[in-house]
Amino acid sequence: MTPLPKLIRDAGLTSVTIIKNYGTADEERLPSEAQLLNSDEAYFAIEAPLYEGDHVEMPDPRGTSVTKMAAEVVQHPIPANMAHSFGGSSGYTKVTWGRVETPRQAPVRRLDLQRLHPAVISAASGLFADRQYDSAVSEALKSVEVRVRDLTELQLSGAPLMQEAFKPKEPRLNVAVEAGRSGDDEREGFFYLFRGAMVGIRNPKAHELSRGEDPDEALEVLALASLLHRRLDVAEERLD
């Protein structure tokens, strides 16, 4: 096992912050200490929760702070009889810094109700807030069904309604935004999405899929209903 170098033993400790998932919605900041010997590397106690790809925020000589990325992290355990050399630690971790890149940010970092189509918010947001997830899902998809019926004036419901409204060859509602073959593919794909939403989710026999207690799954279904409503917006503009 590698002994702790004298250079490290003689250096002072600096308070730093280890940053997990830097620049994301799941960012986590953990206080720690390090021996900052130069601009290229640093040393931590082996117990420090630092891994390659983590970032470290540390003081800057100008009185501000600087953030560096741990490009290489190598742990060096030391014998118990030398533990006093690093404040009782059982080893040390050598970190080589890499280039810090600006984290990529998604334009929408988290899905929430307020970003969904107004028709879904109107039909389901109150029920969702009251934790009535089955009812929220049912009402959101019911709003899709009712809107398709109103736009087509068909006296049908569920899968038969979607079958007639979105049949790929001669749809009553054209939800495609592309032309040519791409448009044909869109019409066929959304035919299955509309019909599948009715058969697989709207159908009361399938309600147990949401288990009535899973807000994440319910929100995902509301997002599907929102997508379907946005394509109905496209179709409705063509009817005017």
How do residues 131-153 score in pLDDT, each as one tens digit? 888 899 999 999 999 999 999 99
pLDDT of residue 92: 80
Cα separation, 180 vs 171, whole angstroms: 15
pLDDT of residue 23: 82
CA dihedral 126, 127, 130, 132 (to 10 degrees): -170
Provide, rounded to the nearest whole percent, the portion of the chain with pLDDT above 90: 46
Residues 177-204, mean pLDDT to the nearest whole number: 91
**Between 108 and 92, whose confidence is greater?**
92
Residues 77-94, mean pLDDT to the nearest whole number: 67
- DSSP secondary structure code for residue 175 in this structure: -
The structure's pTM equals 0.56
Q: Among 56-70, 101-115, 198-212, name the one with the lowest average pLDDT.
A: 101-115
CATH of domain 6-98: 2.40.10.10
Give Dmax over CA atoms of the chain in angstroms. Answer: 86
Token pair of 10, please? 């003689």
Single-letter residue type at 217: E
Closest listed residue to residue 208, CA positions, set 200, 196, 216, 198: 200
pLDDT of residue 64: 86
Instruction: Let me know: does 107 contact 79? Beta carbons within 8 Å.
Output: no
pLDDT of residue 1: 40
pLDDT of residue 100: 64
**Between 97 and 112, whose confidence is greater?**
97
Residues 116-137, mean pLDDT to the nearest whole number: 90
